[in-house]
Amino acid sequence: MTTGYAHWPGYGPRFAPPTGLASTLSVLGAVCIGAHALLAALAVALLRVDAPATAALTPPAVSGFAAMGRPMASPLVAALLLTSLLLLLAALALVLLHVVAGVVFLFWFARVRRNAGILHPAAPHRHSPGAAIGGWFVPVLNLWLPKRVTDDIWRAGRPTVSRRLVDAWWAVSLGTLASGVTTLAVPHHLPWFLVTEVLAVGAGVLTLVLVWRLTFRQNADHAAATTTFAYQNASVGM
């Protein structure tokens, strides 16, 4: 690990600890992960109760509203449709929660990108802090640019460190996105819905691991740089 702290404490841009944002993100992430796990469990229950009946279900919004005002074939089908509607409502609430968590994540991401430039100014960064945020919102670019930024942050000061965690996080995140799109495109989508929820749990866990690994690493680098600066000042004053 190399430290090249360009702006010592009290001079120029200051290091901003990402711990508070990481803690907030952990709470939101834990709720999201728990909700996805619950939705996955409900999907499994639906598949186990009556596979032929659930296979005939169209997406929850369609099947639930289409069945309104018509006699139900059986209490089982009625229960399945009600459960399907509840899944839809839970999914909508989860979307709102993801929006909040996403905003917090972007604040954390911007902070660790800025900190990486302060702590290790000699480390190569292929994209500016602005691009690190804007890249998430540009179609097509958002499939690879945030990963490049994360790679640069991950290797700042540690050019030989393995990127396996970053690679796994990005692969599972893209898999979750692809499965979610498939879920919306396939009419009888309950099995794909289950796959999406399982992948979402994995993506959430990997995201929190990545967040805390980078947070602890930057805090440690800052502590080391501050200690070095204090020792140098003490040596000059002797």
Residue 29 maps to a domain: yes
DSSP line for 70-82:
S--S-HHHHHHHH
Residue 61: name the closest of 25, 37, 89 by CA: 89
Q: How many CB atoms lie within 10 A of CB 47?
A: 15
Residue 149 pLDDT greater than 90, yes or no: yes
Is 121 a member of any domain?
A: yes
Structural domain contains residue 4: no
Query: Is residue 6 classed exposed, middle or buried when 0-12, 13-18 and 19+ CB atoms within 10 A define those classes?
Result: middle
- How much is the pLDDT for 75? 66
pTM above 0.85, yes or no: no
- Note whether residue 85 is domain-resident: yes
Tokens of 90: 């839970």
Is residue 217 assigned to a domain? yes
Q: Residue 27 has what pLDDT?
A: 97
Q: Using CA atoms, how far apart are residues 151 and 143, in angstroms rounded to an integer? A: 14
Q: Which residues contact 95 (CB under 8 A, 6 or more apart)?
A: none
| DSSP 8-class letter at 135 | T
Average pLDDT over the chain, rounded to an integer: 82
Say if residues 111 and 20 touch (Cβ distance below 8 Å). Answer: no
Residue 219 has pLDDT above 60, yes or no: yes
Structural domains in the chain (count): 1
Average pLDDT over residues 150-157: 94
pLDDT of residue 30: 97
Is residue 190 in a domain? yes
Q: Which range of residues forms the domain containing residue 112?
A: 19-237
Distances in Å between the Cα of 202 and the Cα atoms of 30, 67, 150 are 12, 34, 18
Q: Residue 11 pLDDT > 60, yes or no?
A: no
pLDDT given for residue 185 in this prediction: 85
Per the domain annotation, does 6 fall within a domain?
A: no
> Please, which residues have CB within 8 angstroms of residue 232's CB and are 6 or more apart in sequence?
none
Structure tokens at 216: 């602890």
Residue 2 has pLDDT above 70, yes or no: no
Asked if pLDDT for residue 67 goes beyond 60, the answer is no
Tell me the per-residue pLDDT of 165-202, one tens digit each, with 9 for 90 and over: 999 999 999 999 999 898 888 866 788 889 999 999 99
Q: Worst-scoring range by mean pLDDT, 99-103, 222-226, 232-236?
A: 232-236
Tell me: the pLDDT tens digits for 26-64? Answer: 999 999 999 999 889 988 887 876 555 444 444 444 444
pLDDT higher at 59 or 12: 12
pLDDT at 234 over 50: no
Please indicate, yes or no, if residue 8 is contained in any of the structural domains: no
Task: Read off the pLDDT of residues 82-135 as tens digits, 9 standing for 90 and up.
Answer: 767 777 787 788 889 999 999 999 999 999 999 999 999 888 899 998 989 999
